[in-house]
Amino acid sequence: MKFAILNGEMIKRSDAKVDVEDRGYQFGDGVYEVIRVYNGKMFTINEHLERFVKSAESICITLPYTKKKITTLLEELILKNNLQEGIVYMQVTRGVAPRNHSFPTDNVLPSLVAYTKEVTRPLASLKTGVKTMVTEDIRWLRCDIKSLNLLGNLLAKQKAAESGCFEAIQHRSQEVTEGSSSNIFIIKDGSITTHPSNHLILKGITKDVILQVCESNKIVVEEQTFTLEDLASADEAFLSSTTAEVMPIIEVDGKRVGDGLPGPVTKRLQELFEQEIERQCGALKDKILK
């Protein structure tokens, strides 16, 4: 039997239900996190909690528990569900109140939910790379908040799915922002570029891990905007996310990136990223390279 956390309590997953007037259900009035678990251990948990608190604060939700308490609850959930490889999904909403656009005035307790899911690493795609397409970024101007409102992202991802692509890369005018559920990096003549972490993209935890390992290894990454043309003429490109890790892009809108195979810089970053996973969570059974 699987369990979930609902408002601080461990309950049967099938009993985890919320009211129809939960503001998350009616308005998408909440924020969330997806945390990767390798070998039963959460990867970059502190960074995810920091971002969770920041997202909540930016929409004026005060988390009902401390970061430490949440960490303990999630660790208990992982143990209880016997999760080795997978994710923890966690969300908080403004709570249950009679439907009204403005925030409830009486003290409504935010609803916090967490559950786990078994997910394996996408090793085949990590080795071969994935196809992508580009689409206009139609989202709002606070993409830095990990909001439950994902319609723009969903419409983009559905276009990708209908085109047989792994991801839709979004752009505002000529500037590339991010994937529908990932950040994007390009490589040209050995130099690596990714969009700066501002209001137009989500500051990915995976992106930040990549920036850190690059710094430790004296690999320069520019956080600078780049255009659709830069993407089309890049030698290499890759996506980053909690579940996709460092995912090579081999095609954009049916045109090959570089020679159409994962490139040397991308492969090196995959290797460094795996080292960081192993440092935090212990040895991985399967590796991307070899």
Residues annotated as part of the active site = 146
70 contacts 35 by C-beta, under 8 angstroms: no
Binding span for ligand PSZ by CB under 6 A among 200-208, 215-223, 256-264, 279-287: 200-208
**Chain centroid offset of residue 241 CA:** 5
Binding span for ligand PSZ by CB under 6 A among 2-10, 174-182, 269-277, 280-288: 174-182
Q: Does 176 contact ligand PSZ by CB under 6 A? A: no
Q: Does 205 contact ligand PSZ by CB under 6 A? A: yes
Out of 130, 202, 252, 257, the only residue in the binding site for ligand PSZ (CB under 6 A) is 202
Question: Please, which of residues 225-254 interact with ligand PSZ by CB under 6 A?
Answer: 240-243
- Cα–Cα distance between 119 and 78 in angstroms, integer? 13
Of 225, 221, 223, 181, nearest to 204 by C-alpha is 181
Shortest approach of ligand PSZ to residue 19 CB, angstroms?
A: 26
Compare residues 91 and 153 and give the one whose CB is closer to ligand PSZ. Answer: 153
> What is residue 224's DSSP assignment?
-
Out of 30, 86, 110, 204, the only residue in the binding site for ligand PSZ (CB under 6 A) is 204
Q: Does 55 contact ligand PSZ by CB under 6 A? A: no
Q: Does 153 contact ligand PSZ by CB under 6 A? A: yes
Distances (CA, A) of 228 to 52, 54, 60, 100, 144: 31, 31, 36, 41, 21
Return phi, psi of residue 155, to 5°.
-65, -40
Paired tokens of 221: 């990454």
Compare residues 132 and 153 and give the one whose CB is closer to ligand PSZ. Answer: 153
Shortest approach of ligand PSZ to residue 189 CB, angstroms?
A: 26
Q: Does 206 contact ligand PSZ by CB under 6 A? A: yes
270 contacts 246 by C-beta, under 8 angstroms: yes
Q: Does 91 contact ligand PSZ by CB under 6 A? A: no
- Cα–Cα distance between 210 and 244 in angstroms, integer? 13
> What is residue 288's DSSP assignment?
S
Q: Does 181 contact ligand PSZ by CB under 6 A? A: yes
Out of 22, 29, 137, 178, the only residue in the binding site for ligand PSZ (CB under 6 A) is 178
- Cα–Cα distance between 112 and 92 in angstroms, integer? 4
Of 76, 68, 108, 78, nearest to 92 by C-alpha is 108
Out of 183, 193, 194, 266, the only residue in the binding site for ligand PSZ (CB under 6 A) is 183
Q: Write out the residues near ligand PSZ by the rule CB under 6 A.
A: 34, 153, 178, 181-183, 202, 204-207, 240-243
